[in-house]
């Protein structure tokens, strides 16, 4: 666990996705006073913490439409978010992304259309749009998701990484603009938040 304290009433707790952590007394005492917010769908919630909700859901209220760079979640934290399982089914990978976006999408209660998905996949580079036209078999989905996750998070400054960075930069700036609270974030956000602060 990493802790970034901006002020006594605004702090960020970096945690490894999918792992429980022990909170220091400073964080435990701040939560009842300022409130705690989890990242994403709450898959990383820490037992015993009373949360007000998802800070990602709070962000979505400020964004009009469905900007394509927020489709980065298709290739993010796939072990925890189960994209390789969710996308397997009848039809193409492209069709399955559209049909299962309630499970995969960044925004709740917002939907992206086929044109937004095409634009996102083209901007990812390489042949993502072509790969998405394959049938959504276990093997094809695994290849598609693995390639995208690798390009986005493990390959340096790729087109895919630039898409994710654009969305994450917006998220990080929003977090820093908050007046108070304890925000639980993926540990990778702490370094970005420090550099922006």
Q: pLDDT by residue (tens digit) across 19-35? A: 788 899 999 999 999 99
Query: CA-to-CA distance for 162 and 36, rounded, in angstroms?
Result: 29
Is the pLDDT confidence value at 1 over 90? Answer: no
Query: CA-to-CA distance for 189 and 172, rounded, in angstroms?
Result: 7
Q: In Å, what is the CA distance from 158 to each residue of 27, 36, 93, 131, 150?
A: 36, 34, 22, 18, 10
Angle between helices 159-176 and 187-196 (to 10 degrees): 70
Extract the tokens encoding 91: 């039809």
Mean pLDDT, residues 4-14 taken together:
93
Extract the tokens encoding 190: 């702490």
Extract the tokens encoding 167: 């969305």
For residue 63, which phi and psi values (nearest 5 degrees)?
A: -110, 130
Between 152 and 189, where is the model more confident?
152
**DSSP-derived secondary structure for 53-79:** EEHHHHHHTT--S--GGGGGGGGSSHH
Looking at the DSSP bridge assignments, the partners of residue 162 are none
Is the pLDDT confidence value at 10 over 80? Answer: yes
Q: What is the pTM of this model?
A: 0.82
Is the pLDDT confidence value at 17 over 90? Answer: no
Q: In Å, what is the CA distance from 53 to each residue of 29, 63, 65?
A: 18, 18, 22
CB 188 within 8 A of CB 91: no
Mean pLDDT, residues 107-131 taken together:
92
Q: What is the DSSP letter of 113?
A: -
């Amino acid at each position: 666990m990493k802790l970034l304290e901006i002020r006594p009433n605004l702090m960020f707790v970096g945690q490894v996705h999918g792992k429980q952590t022990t909170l220091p007394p400073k964080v435990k005492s701040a939560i009842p006073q300022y409130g705690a917010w989890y990242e994403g769908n709450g898959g990383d919630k820490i037992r015993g913490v009373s949360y007000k909700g998802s800070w990602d859901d709070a962000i979505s209220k400020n964004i009009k439409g469905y900007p394509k760079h927020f489709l980065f979640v298709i290739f993010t934290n796939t072990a925890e978010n189960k994209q390789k399982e969710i996308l397997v089914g009848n039809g193409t990978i492209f069709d399955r992304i559209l049909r299962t976006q309630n499970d995969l999408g960044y925004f709740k209660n917002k939907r992206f259309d086929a044109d937004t998905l095409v634009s996102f996949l083209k901007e990812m580079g390489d042949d993502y749009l072509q790969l998405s036209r394959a049938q959504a078999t276990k093997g094809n989905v695994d290849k598609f998701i693995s390639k995208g996750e690798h390009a986005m998070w493990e390959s340096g400054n790729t087109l895919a990484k630039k898409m994710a960075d654009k969305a994450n930069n917006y998220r990080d700036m929003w977090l820093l603009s908050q007046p108070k609270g304890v925000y639980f974030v993926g540990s990778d956000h702490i370094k970005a938040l420090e550099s922006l602060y």
